[in-house]
Amino acid sequence: MNEKKATFAAGCFWGVEANFRNIPGVIDAVVGYTGGDVENPTYHMVCSNKTGHAEAVQIRYDSDKVTYRELVRAFFDLHDPTTPNRQGPDVGSQYRSVIFYHDEQQRKIAEQVKKELNQSGKYRYPIVTGIIPAEEFYKAEEYHQRYYAKHSYR
Ligand code: MHO
Protein backbone atom coordinates (compact mmCIF):
# COMPACT_ATOMS: atom_id res chain seq x y z
CA MET A 1 0.00 0.00 0.00
CA ASN A 2 1.46 3.28 -1.14
CA GLU A 3 -1.16 5.97 -0.69
CA LYS A 4 -1.09 9.11 -2.84
CA LYS A 5 -3.39 11.97 -3.74
CA ALA A 6 -4.60 13.24 -7.10
CA THR A 7 -6.91 16.12 -7.93
CA PHE A 8 -8.85 16.70 -11.14
CA ALA A 9 -11.55 19.00 -12.51
CA ALA A 10 -13.55 17.77 -15.51
CA GLY A 11 -16.99 19.34 -15.35
CA CYS A 12 -19.86 18.53 -12.99
CA PHE A 13 -18.17 16.68 -10.14
CA TRP A 14 -20.97 14.12 -9.63
CA GLY A 15 -20.00 12.11 -12.67
CA VAL A 16 -16.27 12.62 -12.28
CA GLU A 17 -16.41 11.21 -8.76
CA ALA A 18 -18.50 8.20 -9.81
CA ASN A 19 -16.07 7.44 -12.63
CA PHE A 20 -12.97 7.55 -10.46
CA ARG A 21 -14.56 5.43 -7.74
CA ASN A 22 -14.90 2.61 -10.26
CA ILE A 23 -11.17 2.41 -10.89
CA PRO A 24 -9.44 -0.38 -8.94
CA GLY A 25 -6.77 1.16 -6.73
CA VAL A 26 -8.83 4.27 -6.01
CA ILE A 27 -9.42 4.24 -2.24
CA ASP A 28 -11.67 7.26 -1.91
CA ALA A 29 -12.90 10.24 -3.89
CA VAL A 30 -14.18 13.49 -2.42
CA VAL A 31 -15.90 16.25 -4.38
CA GLY A 32 -15.08 19.88 -3.69
CA TYR A 33 -13.93 23.23 -4.92
CA THR A 34 -10.42 24.40 -5.69
CA GLY A 35 -8.39 26.66 -7.92
CA GLY A 36 -10.19 29.85 -6.93
CA ASP A 37 -9.74 32.53 -4.33
CA VAL A 38 -12.71 32.39 -1.98
CA GLU A 39 -12.35 30.52 1.32
CA ASN A 40 -14.92 27.89 2.24
CA PRO A 41 -17.13 28.47 -0.79
CA THR A 42 -20.63 27.02 -1.03
CA TYR A 43 -22.06 25.28 -4.09
CA HIS A 44 -24.29 28.29 -4.62
CA MET A 45 -21.29 30.65 -4.65
CA VAL A 46 -19.34 28.42 -7.03
CA CYS A 47 -22.34 28.22 -9.38
CA SER A 48 -22.39 32.01 -9.54
CA ASN A 49 -19.12 31.63 -11.45
CA LYS A 50 -17.48 34.39 -9.39
CA THR A 51 -15.28 32.46 -6.95
CA GLY A 52 -12.73 31.28 -9.51
CA HIS A 53 -13.14 27.75 -8.14
CA ALA A 54 -13.61 24.68 -10.29
CA GLU A 55 -15.78 21.71 -9.34
CA ALA A 56 -13.13 19.13 -8.60
CA VAL A 57 -12.53 15.66 -7.24
CA GLN A 58 -9.74 14.73 -4.87
CA ILE A 59 -8.72 11.11 -4.96
CA ARG A 60 -6.73 8.92 -2.63
CA TYR A 61 -5.20 6.01 -4.49
CA ASP A 62 -2.82 3.14 -3.94
CA SER A 63 0.02 3.69 -6.38
CA ASP A 64 0.95 -0.01 -6.08
CA LYS A 65 -2.40 -0.78 -7.76
CA VAL A 66 -2.99 2.11 -10.14
CA THR A 67 -0.45 4.52 -11.56
CA TYR A 68 -0.84 8.26 -11.82
CA ARG A 69 -0.49 7.89 -15.57
CA GLU A 70 -3.51 5.55 -15.62
CA LEU A 71 -5.52 8.04 -13.58
CA VAL A 72 -4.60 10.86 -15.97
CA ARG A 73 -5.64 8.69 -18.92
CA ALA A 74 -8.94 7.93 -17.19
CA PHE A 75 -9.42 11.64 -16.51
CA PHE A 76 -9.03 12.48 -20.20
CA ASP A 77 -11.35 9.63 -21.21
CA LEU A 78 -14.18 10.69 -18.95
CA HIS A 79 -14.67 14.19 -20.39
CA ASP A 80 -14.04 16.39 -23.39
CA PRO A 81 -10.79 18.28 -22.66
CA THR A 82 -11.16 20.55 -25.71
CA THR A 83 -14.05 22.77 -24.60
CA PRO A 84 -12.91 25.84 -22.63
CA ASN A 85 -15.02 26.53 -19.52
CA ARG A 86 -17.61 24.08 -20.64
CA GLN A 87 -18.50 20.40 -20.28
CA GLY A 88 -21.46 19.40 -22.40
CA PRO A 89 -24.50 21.35 -21.24
CA ASP A 90 -22.64 22.81 -18.25
CA VAL A 91 -21.10 26.16 -19.07
CA GLY A 92 -18.96 28.33 -16.78
CA SER A 93 -15.39 28.48 -15.50
CA GLN A 94 -16.34 26.10 -12.64
CA TYR A 95 -16.61 23.38 -15.29
CA ARG A 96 -13.15 23.91 -16.75
CA SER A 97 -10.73 21.04 -17.29
CA VAL A 98 -7.77 21.02 -14.90
CA ILE A 99 -5.17 18.63 -13.54
CA PHE A 100 -4.02 19.87 -10.13
CA TYR A 101 -0.67 18.20 -9.61
CA HIS A 102 0.68 17.38 -6.14
CA ASP A 103 4.35 17.04 -7.01
CA GLU A 104 6.83 17.43 -9.81
CA GLN A 105 6.45 13.83 -10.95
CA GLN A 106 2.69 14.25 -11.36
CA ARG A 107 3.25 17.48 -13.29
CA LYS A 108 5.58 15.75 -15.73
CA ILE A 109 3.24 12.81 -16.29
CA ALA A 110 0.27 15.14 -16.81
CA GLU A 111 2.19 17.25 -19.36
CA GLN A 112 3.40 14.14 -21.13
CA VAL A 113 -0.04 12.51 -21.45
CA LYS A 114 -1.55 15.80 -22.62
CA LYS A 115 1.13 16.13 -25.27
CA GLU A 116 0.73 12.53 -26.43
CA LEU A 117 -3.03 12.91 -26.74
CA ASN A 118 -2.69 16.23 -28.57
CA GLN A 119 -0.36 14.58 -31.08
CA SER A 120 -2.41 11.40 -31.42
CA GLY A 121 -5.06 12.92 -33.66
CA LYS A 122 -7.75 11.71 -31.27
CA TYR A 123 -9.19 15.18 -30.84
CA ARG A 124 -10.36 17.57 -33.48
CA TYR A 125 -9.50 20.59 -31.36
CA PRO A 126 -6.52 21.31 -29.08
CA ILE A 127 -6.69 20.16 -25.48
CA VAL A 128 -7.35 23.12 -23.17
CA THR A 129 -6.74 21.28 -19.89
CA GLY A 130 -4.84 23.38 -17.35
CA ILE A 131 -1.97 21.76 -15.45
CA ILE A 132 -1.42 23.70 -12.25
CA PRO A 133 -0.21 23.08 -8.69
CA ALA A 134 -2.77 21.70 -6.24
CA GLU A 135 -3.87 24.23 -3.66
CA GLU A 136 -6.40 24.36 -0.85
CA PHE A 137 -9.26 21.93 -1.57
CA TYR A 138 -12.62 22.76 -0.01
CA LYS A 139 -14.81 19.72 0.46
CA ALA A 140 -18.28 20.22 -1.00
CA GLU A 141 -21.55 19.91 0.93
CA GLU A 142 -22.43 16.40 2.07
CA TYR A 143 -25.34 16.08 -0.38
CA HIS A 144 -22.88 16.36 -3.26
CA GLN A 145 -20.70 13.49 -1.98
CA ARG A 146 -21.49 10.17 -3.71
CA TYR A 147 -24.33 11.98 -5.44
CA TYR A 148 -24.93 9.38 -8.13
CA ALA A 149 -24.77 6.51 -5.64
CA LYS A 150 -27.32 8.26 -3.40
CA HIS A 151 -29.64 9.05 -6.26
CA SER A 152 -29.06 5.76 -8.05
CA TYR A 153 -28.40 7.28 -11.44
CA ARG A 154 -26.44 5.03 -13.80
N1 MHO B 1 -26.24 20.37 -14.94
C2 MHO B 1 -26.18 20.03 -13.55
C3 MHO B 1 -24.83 20.33 -13.00
C4 MHO B 1 -24.70 19.93 -11.59
S5 MHO B 1 -23.09 19.70 -11.24
C6 MHO B 1 -22.97 19.41 -9.60
C7 MHO B 1 -27.23 20.85 -12.84
O8 MHO B 1 -27.57 21.90 -13.33
O9 MHO B 1 -27.70 20.44 -11.78
O10 MHO B 1 -22.45 20.99 -11.46
Cα–Cα distance, 50 to 113 (Å, whole number):
30
Does residue 13 register a pLDDT over 60? yes
Query: What separation in angstroms does the CA of 2 have from each of 15, 21, 66?
Result: 26, 17, 10
The stretch 109-126 carries a mean pLDDT of: 97
Confidence (pLDDT) at 153: 59
Q: pLDDT tens for residues 126-147? A: 999 999 999 999 999 999 999 9
Mean predicted confidence (pLDDT) in 113-137: 97
Q: Whose CA is nearest to atom 4 of ligand 1?
A: 12
Q: What is the pTM of this model?
A: 0.96
Ligand 1 center to 137 CA (angstroms): 19
| End-to-end Cα distance, the chain | 30
**Closest Cα to atom 5 of ligand 1:** 12
